[in-house]
């Protein structure tokens, strides 16, 4: 299909917004941007104030706060391939490009009504945004923020009329492909951006209401969770001709329809060797699957309903956060013993966590404590407690170099 | 043990050395260092001139050439955790710290007589160098280049006298540990830098003449090849109490003592799912082992004696370089079909290759063509051919964020 004319809604917001992050850092406000490597930088979402904290994982400090991102509840972040810029996907449909070196907003558009995340293509040229309202995916040039292609999530309803679906689980895959799921439609689509004419491939009737998805670290398997029924669906991107398969048929709320405090996130499925660790729905368990046949091989009791289940980069530990009312604690699972070996209480309303690239530390956001807490993952010693306004998502720049992150 | 007094041999070499890399880049020579992300930078060793080419993997360009590294035959590179500086390990015992943003040499010491590589600790604070002459490992502060600890590779010979062994296969492991092998001693040592008092643990009599080693991407298994006998040795760092085990007992030259043009490198063992792909010694084969029990499960015929066997980050392909006289071609193996699917002829004397972080491209050095050739790994299309002086090793900054790289 021919490329549509770029939208002319690019709003350059060049304001340098600095909040002093403690007196020791106040003096940076008036100096020129520092020449520095960007490999140890990161972004912490401050949802209450629509701001982000720029952080340095070597110094374990907040470098500055930057405002002007709009509604950041449930916001996520992707990094450009040079690790200089962060794209922040806001709940208000805002797509904001942040310069990590200057702290300036290098570009901001309101691209939709309600976006829930996105991805950057393997070659770094394109940023895709998935939208709730109106449904669909828009792809922009990462340099200019020009619209490259608008893909409405149009689907045929059972009564034959056409609808617009919410788009969830947008990820990048090798070959410059984006993959995403259509909630109301029960479909998975791939968008191949490797040619001048993008190619769209829909997989129909995959299951009822896919609500979130993940891609494995090698970019091969795209797995979506279903809200409308038990089980999950898997698309093997090395064998798209095989279509979408069902896996883990008992995964979900089950016949008892347990009270679910919050649907778990799938982003953080932990892979360790042949095992995948993932949150049970509505149960105080972390589930373990064998990735060679995607069968369920274990259930690990934990202290609440798990939300994020993430593996340390060396795969020896899996760290778990929980839904309310058990969200004041974090638990650590040993991937060989398959049991909890540590429980930590970093603060109130633990929302997210991020490992340093080689896994020596973990940063944990305690929203209602207004703090980000840094631990040594070997000794469990608390190393730092940094101030942040209602911190939620934490994202470090090494994600720029990883498939699907 | 108490820390030794830092050596006072730090030589700050601040010379900014620029060779115009084609007319389009000549104008950068007089301008201030550019504020830029460091996530898409890399270093190409130019062995004949003792220089390196600084490259940009987004623009696919040589940014500048920097001289003053001494003897760079067989040189290797590690990056600091902020991805701003590269440590270059020279054959003449030189340890040189290069600022990727300014192109300046930020520090250079001659730390030994003949070094063959090193590693940076998980926390980024320490750089370890393995030495042939005199044998041993020296650990320096990555900020100041001050000597932190000098570990002589002293061992007891069969006749009871003491000797100094060449050190090979220096890697970093989780827990701020360095692991290395002692060639003449037949030993593997670990050096734990996580406490103020470093702790050394030797594993004796592991096998005859370990000549190179690797660590798996999760940092669990350290595997050394043996020059003096067949088979390899494996140390499970999660279970050091189990000691060193023998694996792949037939690996090596075998009873026929085949002519070996060059011992293969172990650095680039390719891991893909449960399979490890690695170069046969003296045979035109890539071998395949099952990493769950380290048994040999396959042999893939290739066009020469393989040297580097490296997997694309998505694990779907393995790219192979070869020893003389077959070193003008590169072959690509499909990891599902377990057969060669492509043969490329980038130039004369292919020495090394490096994938871009998410694997869309590969950069290949053709020493005697004085070129680095960039390919699209999906289409095998040649994308760029860059000038370089006798290029050998190619290293991109995302290695800073990976265990053992």
CATH of the domain at B292: 2.40.10.480
For residues A199-221, give the mean pLDDT.
95
Neighbours of A156 (CB within 10 A): 11
For B404, the closest chain A residue by CA position comes to A358
Q: Which residue among A209, A234, A257 closes a domain?
A: A257
Which residues make beta-bridge pairs with B342? B332
Interface contacts A/B by beta carbons within 8 Å? 148
For residues B377-387, give the mean pLDDT.
98
Query: At residue B100, does pLDDT exceed 90?
Result: yes
Of A14-28, A142-156, B274-288, give the lowest mean pLDDT range. Answer: A14-28
Distance from CA of B82 to the nearest CA of A (A): 4
Same domain flag for B46 and B115: no
Same domain flag for B118 and B252: yes
pLDDT band for A186, please (50, 70, 90 cuts).
Answer: very high
The reply to whether B91 falls in a domain is no
Of the candidates A39, A80, A123, which has its C-beta nearest B397's C-beta? A39
Which residues make beta-bridge pairs with B296? B289
Give SS3 for B23: helix
- From the list A192, A14, A222, A209, the residue with the least C-alpha distance to A103 is A14
pLDDT band for A255, please (50, 70, 90 cuts).
Answer: low
Contact A82 B314 (CB under 8 A): no
Within 8 A of B174 by CB-CB distance, chain A residues are 314, 316, 358-360, 378
Q: Which residue among B234, B257, B280 closes a domain?
A: B257
Same domain flag for A303 and A197: no
Within 8 A of B275 by CB-CB distance, chain A residues are none
Distance from CA of A402 to the nearest CA of B (A): 6
Helices and strands (DSSP H and E) totals, chain B: 0, 34
The mean pLDDT value of chain A amounts to 89
ipTM of the complex as predicted: 0.91
* Model pLDDT, residue A393: 96
For residues A141-145, give the mean pLDDT.
97
B362-B367-B371-B375 Cα dihedral, nearest 10 degrees: -20
Distance of CA B27 to the CA centre of its chain: 33
**Kind of pairing between the strands at A221-226 and A232-236:** antiparallel
DSSP 8-state secondary structure symbol assigned to residue B230: S
Residue A142, C-beta contacts closer than 8 angstroms, at least 6 positions apart:
A80, A85, A87, A97, A120, A124, A125, A126, A127
Within 8 A of B271 by CB-CB distance, chain A residues are none
The reply to whether B20 falls in a domain is no
The reply to whether B89 falls in a domain is no
* Model pLDDT, residue A286: 96
Residue A334: is the preceding peptide bond cis (ω within 30°)?
A: no
Same domain flag for A323 and A215: no
Contact A360 B36 (CB under 8 A): no
Query: At residue B109, does pLDDT exceed 80?
Result: yes
- From the list B154, B244, B160, B165, the residue with the least C-alpha distance to B205 is B244
Contact B38 A336 (CB under 8 A): no
CA distances (Å), A101 to each of A16, A43, B63, B184, B401, in order? Answer: 11, 12, 20, 49, 19
Same domain flag for A53 and A154: no
CA distances (Å), B229 to each of A137, A396, B132, B211, in order? Answer: 59, 45, 21, 11
Percent above pLDDT 70 for chain A: 90
Contact B124 A58 (CB under 8 A): yes
How far is Cα B166 from Cα A213, in angstroms, rounded to an integer?
50
The reply to whether B19 falls in a domain is no
Same domain flag for A216 and A354: no
* Model pLDDT, residue A27: 37
Residue B160, C-beta contacts closer than 8 angstroms, at least 6 positions apart:
none
User: Which residue range forms the structural domain that includes residue A331?
Assistant: 263-345
For residues B88-117, give the mean pLDDT.
93
**Kind of pairing between the strands at A275-279 and A270-272:** antiparallel
Helix (H) / strand (E) element for B225: namely strand B221-226
For residues A352-379, give the mean pLDDT.
98
Angle at A293 between CA A292 and CA A299, to 5 degrees: 95
pLDDT band for B256, please (50, 70, 90 cuts).
Answer: low
- From the list A253, A243, A231, the residue with the least C-alpha distance to A190 is A243
* Model pLDDT, residue B3: 34
Of A177-181, B24-28, B363-367, give the lowest mean pLDDT range. Answer: B24-28
For B368, counting Cβ atoms within 10 Å of its Cβ (0-12 exposed, 13-18 middle, 19+ buried), the class is middle
Same domain flag for B151 and B49: no
How far is Cα B171 from Cα A388, in angstroms, rounded to an integer?
37
The token duo for A393 is 């998502």
Distance of CA A32 to the CA centre of its chain: 32
Same domain flag for B213 and B312: no
The token duo for A254 is 């089950």
Q: Which residue among B220, B240, B257 closes a domain?
A: B257
Of A3-17, A63-77, B201-215, B284-298, give the lowest mean pLDDT range. Answer: A3-17
Query: At residue B18, does pLDDT exceed 60?
Result: no
The token duo for B149 is 């600890």
Query: At residue B216, does pLDDT exceed 60?
Result: yes
Same domain flag for B189 and B295: no
Give how many domains chain B has, as a whole number.
3
Query: At residue B353, does pLDDT exceed 80?
Result: yes
The reply to whether A17 falls in a domain is no
pLDDT band for A20, please (50, 70, 90 cuts).
Answer: very low
Contact between B227 and B208 under an 8 Å Cβ cutoff? The reply is yes
DSSP 8-state secondary structure symbol assigned to residue B29: G
The reply to whether B93 falls in a domain is no
For B34, the closest chain A residue by CA position comes to A35
Same domain flag for B271 and B367: no
Same domain flag for A183 and A211: yes
Q: How many CA atoms lie within 13 A of A83 on its CB side?
A: 31
The reply to whether B141 falls in a domain is yes
Same domain flag for B338 and B356: no
Query: At residue B253, does pLDDT exceed 80?
Result: no
* Residues B184-213 pLDDT 10s: 999 999 999 999 999 999 999 999 999 999
Interface test with A, best of B314, B361, B383 (most A CBs within 10 A): B314
* Model pLDDT, residue A8: 26
How many residues make up chain B in this entry?
Answer: 405
* Residues B284-336 pLDDT 10s: 999 999 998 999 999 999 999 999 999 999 999 999 999 999 999 999 999 99
pLDDT band for A271, please (50, 70, 90 cuts).
Answer: confident
Query: At residue A2, does pLDDT exceed 70?
Result: no
For residues A208-225, give the mean pLDDT.
94
How far is Cα A181 from Cα B393, in angstroms, rounded to an integer?
42
* Model pLDDT, residue B97: 98
The reply to whether A325 falls in a domain is yes
* Model pLDDT, residue B255: 59
Query: At residue B103, does pLDDT exceed 80?
Result: yes
For residues B127-138, give the mean pLDDT.
94
Contact A36 B84 (CB under 8 A): yes
- From the list A287, A278, A335, the residue with the least C-alpha distance to A310 is A278
Percent above pLDDT 90 for chain A: 81
How many residues make up chain A in this entry?
Answer: 405
Of A257-261, A367-371, B297-301, give the lowest mean pLDDT range. Answer: A257-261
Domain containing residue A169: CATH number: 2.130.10.10
């Amino acid at each position: 299909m021919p490329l549509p004319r770029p939208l002319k809604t690019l709003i350059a917001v060049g304001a340098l917004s600095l909040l002093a992050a403690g007196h020791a850092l106040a003096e940076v406000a008036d100096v020129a941007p520092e020449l520095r490597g960007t490999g140890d930088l990161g972004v912490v979402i401050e949802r209450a104030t629509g701001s982000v904290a720029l952080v340095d994982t070597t110094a374990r400090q907040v470098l500055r706060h930057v405002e002007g991102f709009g509604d950041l509840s449930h916001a996520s972040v992707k990094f450009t391939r040079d690790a200089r810029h962060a794209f922040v996907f806001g709940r208000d449909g805002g797509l904001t490009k942040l310069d990590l070196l200057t702290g300036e907003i290098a570009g901001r558009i309101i691209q939709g009504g309600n976006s829930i995340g996105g991805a950057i293509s393997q070659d770094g040229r394109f940023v895709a945004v998935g939208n709730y309202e109106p449904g669909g995916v828009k792809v922009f040039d990462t340099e200019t923020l020009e619209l490259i292609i608008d893909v409405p999530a149009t689907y045929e309803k059972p009564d034959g009329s056409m609808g617009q679906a919410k788009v969830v689980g947008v990820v990048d895959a090798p070959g410059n492909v984006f993959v995403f799921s259509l909630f109301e439609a029960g479909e998975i689509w791939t968008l191949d951006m490797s040619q001048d004419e993008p190619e769209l491939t829909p997989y129909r009737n995959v299951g009822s209401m896919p609500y979130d998805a993940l891609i494995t670290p090698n970019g091969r398997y795209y797995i979506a969770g279903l809200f409308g029924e038990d089980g999950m669906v898997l698309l093997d991107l090395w064998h798209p001709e095989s279509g979408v398969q069902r896996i883990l048929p008992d995964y979900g709320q089950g016949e008892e329809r347990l009270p679910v405090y919050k649907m778990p996130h799938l982003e953080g499925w932990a892979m360790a060797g042949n095992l995948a660790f993932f949150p049970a729905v509505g149960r105080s368990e972390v589930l373990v699957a064998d990735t060679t046949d995607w069968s369920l091989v274990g259930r690990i009791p934990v202290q609440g309903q798990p939300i994020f289940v993430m593996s340390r980069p060396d795969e020896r530990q899996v760290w778990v956060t929980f839904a309310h009312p058990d969200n004041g604690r974090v638990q650590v699972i040993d991937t060989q013993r398959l049991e909890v070996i540590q429980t930590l209480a970093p603060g109130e309303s633990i929302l997210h966590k991020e490992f340093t690239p080689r896994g020596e530390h973990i940063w944990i956001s305690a929203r209602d404590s207004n703090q980000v807490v840094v631990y040594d993952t070997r000794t469990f010693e608390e190393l730092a407690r940094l101030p942040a306004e209602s911190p939620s998502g934490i994202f470090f720049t090494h994600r720029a170099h990883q498939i699907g992150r």
